Amino acid sequence: MNKVWLLVFVLFNSEFFPFGSSLNVTTRPDVVNIGAIFSFNSTVGKVARVAIEAALEDVNSEPAVLNGTKLKLTMQDTNYSGFLGIVEALKLVQNEIVAIIGPQFSVTAHLVSHIANELHVPLVSYAATDPALSSLQYPFFVRTTQSDLFQMAAIADIIEYYEWRNVIAVFVDDDHGRNGISVLGDKLEESRAKISYKAPMRPGATRNEITNVLVKVDLMDSRIFVLHTYADWGLEVLDVAETLGMLGSGYVWIVTDWLSTVLDTYSPVSSNVIANVQGVVTLRMHTSDSKQKTNLVTGWSNLTSRKASNGPFGLSTYGLYAYDTVWLLAHAIDKFFNQGGNISFSKDSRLTQLGLGGGKLPFDVLSIFNGGELLLKSISEVNMIGVTGPIKFTSDGYLIHPAYQVINVVGNGYRRIGYWSNYSGLSIVPPEILYRKPPNRSRSTQQLYDVIWPGQTTQKPRGWVFPNNGRELRIGVPNRVVYREFVSLVQGPDTFGGYCIDVFTAALNFLPYAVPYKLIPFGDGHNNPKVSDLVSLVAAGVYDAAVGDLAITTNRTRMVDFTQPYIESGLVVVAPVRKRNSNEWAFLRPFTPMMWCVTGILFLVVGVVVWILEHRINDDFRGPPKRQIVTILW
């Protein structure tokens, strides 16, 4: 009897839920657990915390997103520590979470990625910008913000735009700083500039350590500094630089987006902080304006006063990305369920063995998320509009449309002097307008508004100085005996005068900066020195240059570069000149005496031949021999 009822029930059931679709309509759980690890008290973290909580409220109050399922978030404070990051990530995954928001710091991201790879829990980070995290080594790392790859490309483009060649990189010596600067080096190389010196600093360096690093780089010849560090102590570096007078005129500081994050978070920034960073150029991730963004920005002060105990603060771009990250996860989890995913975990055999092998750490509580791969795929396929604009991933895992704003700190605030987009490089119009046109990265389209550089000047700094420990240019000058109008040694041992020296000093005066030099006589002063030897010495590096009446010959141009000739002879034919006295026999000169003899003999021979042929028939050749000879000659 029971069997019949069961059969009826099955029939009834399959009538209402046709077999094909019932497979995919998985029962959604009421709650999905997600975790978040970041530093609550950091500049980025405290903004992100409010943004994440707000986003969670919004997602959970909108049943349409997850069809009634709620997200439950567990947050852990890593307090700037990579070690705590690992421990807390492990603590989170034992709560059967499906994804981790964060970590905030790239260093932690490198470490926690190993846990994510093993347990198949996607890491969705809104703040870890280290370009190396995009590597194939970390398949479960998803970056929902811009990679520093693009930020460094933007900095390289700015440096190329101002035609600087040598850059000094000051950075925090951890994964975040090192990998970012290494990408900067690659990008600079594409425009034939380079990092002439790398100045690493210990993470969390003291004021003394920073001073030592900066004093050292101040002795270098480059005046272009790229500062890549964290929002939490970047200002300390600039403060030390200011104390050392390294924010005066002639210096250029291009700092990565940590500064704009600080300015956004703590605005209005106190006047003595802003006084320290006058003229600094920084970047800020560009997000397009939208209704959602305006709503979040206007509601922000309410949010911070409700949620944050540590006082009101502004909304930075990382806050926007953190907000979108929660929404992105919600959309991805929805998609995951639609594709038949279910939330189940299984034991990691490797860990179970470890747990059995003794020791007190309960490794066997960690389990693998079976749907990890599917959720990862769902995340990569998300296509939504968030507060940061359209959100979508390219095939290599970057967010679409990487773009930055270029910002110049002046007065009490800052000024936007242009945009950089991966699409078209530097421009003064927002990237959204450029996306409608074909990409154009030609030199003439690259544009920025004027920058007010450190020292309150709008004149573009030259970017380098003669290093303090530098030597003067050694200029070889031929110590000639003849043609002393061109160069000659005059009063004093090393002083020269003459036309060539005048041209040289006049040319130097045209340079916008001073060039220290020393004229060194070449030759003993008794004989004319050989110019070829002087040229060889320049080529050999004994002299840096030579000044004087040096003829430009093919052989010499193979060894050294000549300036434009400033005394020119033009094309000439050279002939020897000999003085000859003119007399009445001058008409004989065209021919040599031999020629005259031959001509005379020929003359006679012709006469004789005519006589032989004609004297039998011609009456003129008759008569006495004397007359015949006269006729022949005539």
Ligand X SMILES: *[C@@H]1O[C@H](CO)[C@@H](O)[C@H](O)[C@H]1NC(C)=O
Stretch that binds ligand X, among 189-197, 221-229, 279-287, 393-401 (CB under 6 A): 393-401
Considering the rule CB under 6 A, would residue 394 count as an interface residue with ligand X?
A: yes
Number of residues that bind ligand X (CB under 6 A): 25
- Report the nearest approach of ligand X to the CB of residue 292 (Å): 16
Q: Is 373 in the site for ligand X (CB under 6 A)?
A: no
User: Applying CB under 6 A, which part among 101-109, 334-342, 467-475, 503-511 lies near ligand X?
Assistant: 334-342
Q: Is 68 in the site for ligand X (CB under 6 A)?
A: yes
Residues 485-514 touching ligand X, rule: CB under 6 A, are none
Between 344 and 459, name the residue whose CB sits nearer to ligand X.
Answer: 344
Residue 622 has phi, psi (to 5 degrees) of -100, 175
* Three-state SS annotation for 425-450: EEECCCHHHHCCCCCCCCHHHCCCCC
Work out how close the CB of 23 gets to ligand X at its nearest, in angstroms, rounded to a whole number.
4
Helix (H) or strand (E) holding 199: strand 194-201
Question: Token pair for residue 510?
Answer: 């045209």
Q: Which of 310, 495 has the CB closer to ligand X?
A: 310
- 79: contact with ligand X by CB under 6 A: yes
Residue 259 near residue 228 (C-beta atoms within 8 A): no
- Residue among 342, 349, 456, 563 that touches ligand X (CB under 6 A): 342
Q: Which listed residue (77, 432, 544, 549) binds ligand X by CB under 6 A?
A: 77
Minimum Å distance from CB 489 to ligand X?
27
**Residue 457 near ligand X by CB under 6 A:** no
Q: Is 456 in the site for ligand X (CB under 6 A)?
A: no
Long-range Cβ pairs for the range 360-365 (8 Å, 24+): 365/94
- Contact between 344 and ligand X per CB under 6 A: yes
E strands along 354-440, which residues? 367-369, 384-386, 389-391, 403-410, 413-421, 425-427
Nearest to residue 496, comparing CAs of 482, 484, 508, 513? 484
Q: Which one-letter DSSP state was computed for residue 290? A: -
Q: Is 445 in the site for ligand X (CB under 6 A)?
A: yes
Q: Which is closer to ligand X, CB of 394 or CB of 412?
A: 394
According to the binding rule CB under 6 A, does residue 61 interact with ligand X? no
CB of 402 to ligand X, least distance (A): 5
Tokens representing 513 are 């900066």
Nearest to 380 by CA among 390, 401, 394: 394
217 and 251 Cβ atoms separated by less than 8 Å: no
Nearer to ligand X, 469 or 554 (CB): 554
302 binds ligand X (CB under 6 A): yes
Site membership for ligand X, residue 339 (CB under 6 A): yes
- Spatial separation of the C-alpha atoms in residues 509 and 512, rounded to whole Å: 8
Token code pair at residue 54: 């707000």
Cβ distance to ligand X smaller for residue 340 or 411:
340
Q: Are 45 and 37 in contact (CB under 8 A)?
A: no
Residue 17 or 591: the one with the smaller Cβ distance to ligand X is 17
* Residue 168 C-beta: closest distance to ligand X, Å: 27
Burial class (CB in 10 A: 0-12, 13-18, 19+), 196: middle
Q: Which of 268, 340, 470, 565 binds ligand X (CB under 6 A)?
A: 340
Q: Which amino acid is residue 221, in one-letter code? A: D
Residue 94 engages ligand X in binding (rule: CB under 6 A)? no
The single-letter DSSP state of residue 457 is: B
User: Does the footprint of ligand X cover residue 270 (CB under 6 A)?
Assistant: no
How far CA 394 is from CA of 12, 106, 325, 391, 398, in Å, comes to 47, 21, 16, 10, 5
Nearer to ligand X, 249 or 302 (CB): 302
H or E stretch including 488?
Answer: strand 488-490
**Residue with Cβ nearer ligand X (69 or 631):** 69
372 within 8 A of 141, measured Cβ to Cβ: no
Q: Is residue 442 part of the contact set for ligand X (CB under 6 A)?
A: yes
Using the rule CB under 6 A, give the single segment among 213-221, 338-346, 470-478, 493-501 that binds ligand X: 338-346
Judged by CB under 6 A, does residue 288 bind ligand X?
Answer: no
321: DSSP letter: H
Shortest Cβ 289–ligand X spacing (Å): 20
CB of 460 vs ligand X, minimal distance in Å:
22
* 555 part of the interface to ligand X, by CB under 6 A: yes
Taking the complex as a whole, the smallest distance from the CB of residue 567 to ligand X amounts, in Å, to 21
Specify whether the CB–CB gap between 199 and 441 falls below 8 A: no
- Mask of contacts with ligand X, 400-439, x by CB under 6 A? x-x-------------------x---------------x-
* In the complex, least distance from residue 438 CB atom to ligand X, rounded to whole angstroms: 5
SS3 content of the chain, % helix, strand, coil (to 5): 40, 20, 40
> Per rule CB under 6 A, is residue 67 in the interface with ligand X?
yes
Nearer of residues 562 and 603 to ligand X, judged by Cβ:
562
CB-wise, 88 or 218, nearer to ligand X? 88
Residue 272 sits in the site that holds ligand X (CB under 6 A): no
Between the alpha carbon of residue 467 and those of residues 163, 227, 490, 532, 578, the distances in Å are: 20, 21, 31, 32, 59
Q: Which is nearer to ligand X, 299 or 525 (CB)?
A: 299
CB closer to ligand X, 223 vs 556: 556
Which residue, 266 or 466, is less far from ligand X as judged by CB? 266
Between 113 and 265, whose beta carbon lies closer to ligand X?
265
Rounded to whole angstroms, how far apart are CA atoms 132 and 143?
11
Q: For residues 435 and 611, which CB has a smaller minimum distance to ligand X in the complex?
A: 435
Candidate segments 104-112, 180-188, 335-343, 571-579, binder of ligand X by CB under 6 A: 335-343
Q: Where on the phi/psi map is residue 570: left (φ > 0), alpha (ψ -120 to 50), or beta?
A: left
Task: With CA atoms as reference, report the closest residue to 388 among 146, 214, 626.
Answer: 146
**Footprint (CB under 6 A) of ligand X, residues 9-48:** 23-24, 41
Min separation Cβ 166 and ligand X, Å:
26
Q: Name residue 463's amino acid.
A: G
306 Cβ partners below 8 Å, 6+ apart?
A: none
Alpha-carbon span 343 to 608, nearest angstrom: 134
**How far apart (Å, rounded) are the C-alpha atoms in residues 127 and 105?**
7
By CB under 6 A, is residue 166 in contact with ligand X?
Answer: no
Roughly how many angstroms between the first and final C-alpha of the chain, as a whole number? 165
Rounded distance between C-alpha atoms, residue 238 and residue 273, angstroms: 9
CA separation for the pair 100, 419 (Å, rounded): 32
Q: Select 440 or 459, whichever has its Cβ closest to ligand X.
A: 440
Interface with ligand X by CB under 6 A: which residues?
A: 23-24, 41, 67-68, 77, 79, 302, 310, 338-340, 342, 344, 394, 398, 400, 402, 422, 438, 440, 442, 444-445, 555
